[in-house]
Amino acid sequence: MPWYAWLLILLVLGSIVGGLLVLLRTAKPLPLDEEQLQRIRERKIEMEAQDAKDSRQR
């Protein structure tokens, strides 16, 4: 492979790794109050029940 192909591959991989590192550093947990957390838990239970129902129908 020519040298410029290797250079291009390194640049692409560097961009991907750099982007992931930026995402990792800037990720912050969402400040949710107790009411929002309760709604999320209820929706999760509903979705799991729906998934179980759907898997039984197959």
Question: pLDDT (tens digit, 9 = 90+) per residue, 7-29?
Answer: 999 999 999 999 999 999 999 88
**What are the percentages of helix, strand and coil residues in the chain, rounded to 5?**
85, 0, 15
Q: What is the pTM of this model?
A: 0.52
Contact 14, 22 (CB under 8 A): no
| pLDDT bracket for residue 56 (50, 70, 90) | confident
Specify the DSSP class assigned to residue 1: -
